[in-house]
Amino acid sequence: MKFDDYDIAPGIKRSLEKLGFKKPTDIQFRSIPPILKGEDVLAIAQTGTGKTAAFAIPVISTIEFRKRPDRPDGVKCIVMAPTHELAEQIAGVFTELARHTRVTVLCIHGGVDQEPQIAGLNNGVDVLIATPGRLFDLVSQGHLRLHRVEILVLDEADHMLDLGFIKDIRDLTNKLTNKRQTLFFSATINEHIKDLAYSLVRNPIRIQVSPKDPVSKNITHSVAFIGMDDKRYFLERVVNENPESKILVFVRTKVRAERVLKAMERVDIRCVTIHSDKDAAERNAAMAQFRSGEVKILVATDVSARGIDIPDVDFVVNYDLPDKPENYVHRVGRTGRGMKKGLAVSFCSDEEKEVLGDIEEYLTKPINRVEMDRSDYAQTIDFSREHDWKTLMAKEEEFQSKKKKKKGK
Residues 144-196 pLDDT 10s:
999 899 999 998 887 787 777 888 888 888 888 888 999 998 877 777 778 88
| Number of CB atoms found within 10 A of residue 45's CB | 23
Average pLDDT along the chain: 87
3-class secondary structure, 297: strand
d(CA 300, CA 289): 14
3-class secondary structure, 104: coil
Q: What percent of the chain has pLDDT over 90?
A: 52
Say yes or no to pLDDT of 325 above 90.
no
Q: Which helix (H) or strand (E) holds 310?
A: none
DSSP structural state of residue 245:
-
Please state the domain extents for the chain. Answer: 3-209, 219-391
In this structure, are residues 27 and 52 in contact, taking their beta carbons and an 8 Å threshold? no
d(CA 273, CA 280): 12
d(CA 188, CA 208): 10
Torsions phi, psi for 202 (to 5 deg): -115, 120
> Given this model, what pLDDT does residue 389 score?
54
Q: pLDDT higher for 75 or 303?
A: 75
Say yes or no to pLDDT of 246 above 90.
yes
Q: What is the mean pLDDT of residues 2-14?
A: 93
| Number of CB atoms found within 10 A of residue 391's CB | 10
In this structure, are residues 61 and 12 in contact, taking their beta carbons and an 8 Å threshold? yes
Q: What is the mean pLDDT of residues 233-251?
A: 94
Per-residue confidence at 60, pLDDT binned at 50, 70, 90?
Answer: very high
Say yes or no to pLDDT of 392 above 60.
no
d(CA 299, CA 183): 32
> Given this model, what pLDDT does residue 395 score?
55
Say yes or no to pLDDT of 318 above 80.
yes
Continuous H helices in 180-251: 191-200, 231-241
Per-residue confidence at 263, pLDDT binned at 50, 70, 90?
Answer: very high
Q: pLDDT higher for 167 or 400?
A: 167
pLDDT tens sequence across 92-132: 999 999 999 999 999 999 888 999 999 999 988 999 999 98
Per-residue confidence at 333, pLDDT binned at 50, 70, 90?
Answer: confident
At 124, the amino acid letter reads G
Options 3.40.50.300, 3.30.420.10, 3.30.70.3340, 1.10.3720.10; CATH for 3-209 is 3.40.50.300
Per-residue confidence at 387, pLDDT binned at 50, 70, 90?
Answer: low
> Given this model, what pLDDT does residue 38 score?
95
Q: pLDDT higher for 82 or 352?
A: 352
Q: Hey, do 3-209 and 219-391 end up sharing a CATH topology, with the first three levels equal?
A: yes
d(CA 103, CA 64): 6
Q: pLDDT higher for 405 or 96?
A: 96
Quick one: which of 197, 142, 198, 202 has its CA closest to 178? 202
Own/partner pairs, 224-229, CB within 8 angstroms, 24+ separation: 224/345, 224/346, 224/347, 224/348, 224/369, 224/370, 224/372, 225/348, 225/349, 225/350, 225/369, 225/370, 225/372, 226/347, 226/348, 226/349, 226/377, 227/349, 227/350, 228/349, 228/350, 228/351
> Given this model, what pLDDT does residue 310 score?
79
pTM (two decimals) = 0.72
Q: What is the mean pLDDT of residues 256-267?
A: 94
**Which top CATH class is 219-391?**
alpha beta
Continuous H helices in 7-150: 10-19, 26-36, 51-66, 84-97, 115-122, 132-140
Say yes or no to pLDDT of 50 above 90.
no
